[in-house]
Amino acid sequence: MDLTYLAALPSSEFQQRRQRLLAQLADNSALIVFSAQEKQRNADSHYPFRQDSYFWYLTGFNEPDSALLLLKHDGESQSAVFLRPSDPLLETWNGRRLGVDNAPTALNVDQAYSIEQIGSELPRLLSGSTALYHADDLQRWGDQIVRDSLRYAREHQRQGLNAPPQLNDWRPLLDEMRLFKSEYEVALLQQAGQISALAHLRAMQQARPNRYEYELESEMLHEFNRHGARFAAYNSIVAGGENACILHYTENDQLLKDGELVLIDAGCEFAMYAGDITRTFPVNGQFSPAQRAVYEVVLKAQKRAIELLVPGASIYQVNREVLKIKVTGLIELGILHGEVEQLIADKAYLPFYMHGLGHWLGLDVHDVGHYGENRDRTLAVGMVLTVEPGLYLSRNSEIPAPYQGIGVRIEDNILITEYGNKVLTSAAPKEIDEIEIIMQKK
């Protein structure tokens, strides 16, 4: 499948983001964003490099040891990037670099400098600004550069340098921008969702008793790679049986047993954007009566939540409806006893449903953006979020024996639209009959 037409955003997208950000800055100010650095795995081996999401959002540049500087003086703006210089010997060993000479055209910026010059150039470029926007504690190597540059400027006032007297955090500005997805971003998120859905379908087709959890994980990673998504967006959860009651179970090393469910929470990263899907299905392809009963409660809650997550609603409001469905279901199963509203007020559901209904999705699987107090922010067109109710009935719970050890979560990704919402992951089966038919046919 040729997805090259989707695998990169046009440079104009990044330039427009920078312009929108500059428009929000105070006049006579500067803003600096640092890239990620390579991280050592062990000895002389490194983890695969993954760019800092903020830096990528503004540049589309996928090299470490880089920085973006935006300047706004007297209503005029300038942009500069610091990056690794070309080095034929190192590039022979470790891969190509963009280089200083190519950067202005390739990244659509005004100036480019070697990262080795940042210590001398940054104090000069910041001089005259009354405010500096910088996110402290995000990239520690960048924090040190900023501190050194400000100190150098203060120590060389006689030479005409001065340090910006005010420091501001740019995260509130960028978090709000990233919360609302552009048309291009929606296309990438939809593709990430589609590839992730195909991987879940493959896992259902390949599941059977006495395979290991990691074997299903490998099937999913194969499907990710086959469609141009080289990496998972997060550590995949493949949890057989009671392992599904551990929310962030990632050992994935246990045998899948006949008669048990397996919960898979996994999504690919496609062109830097995340998919995030959870599906729960029987290892042997047939839901038991108890498994079916629990699953139906979660599915009913999830489908109702998707109906309600529309412009003008909030995650908090919708989760209240989800709680009513779940608590009613738990009463019908004999797991909870009492009146629905009182049980909700007492939070009697917490041992069985202890996480939120969903989260923002984008460049990060738990993407940035303010939720409001108690997640009561009004949903608006362009937001993308997950919808993931679950029930987790541990063997240690004092509940009827047939339900002990059952964990179910169903998760989809939705885009808030002017017409309501659009499910980006609908290709992943979740109806009981559909799952059983797929698994029987293999």
Looking at the annotation, which residues are catalytic? 44, 248, 265, 276, 355, 359, 366, 388, 392, 409, 411
Q: Which residues pair with 34 in a beta bridge?
A: 67
Cβ burial 28-61 (10 Å sphere, 16+ → b, else e): ebbbbbbbbbeeeeeeeeeeeeebbbbbbbbbbb
HSE, side-chain direction, 13 A CA sphere, residue 2 = 1
Looking up tokens 């080289």 gives 230
Residues 6+ apart with CB under 8 A from 425: 193, 194, 196, 197, 275, 277, 412, 413
> How far apart, in whole angstroms, are the C-alpha atoms of residue 120 and residue 103?
20
Provide the 8-state DSSP code for 411: B
Cβ burial 402-412 (10 Å sphere, 16+ → b, else e): bbbbbbbbbbb
Spatial contact of 152 and 123, defined as CB atoms under 8 Å apart? yes
* SS3 state of residue 378: coil
Q: Note the helical H segments in 10-168.
A: 11-24, 53-59, 88-94, 103-107, 118-126, 140-155
Spatial contact of 134 and 163, defined as CB atoms under 8 Å apart? no
Spatial contact of 204 and 229, defined as CB atoms under 8 Å apart? no
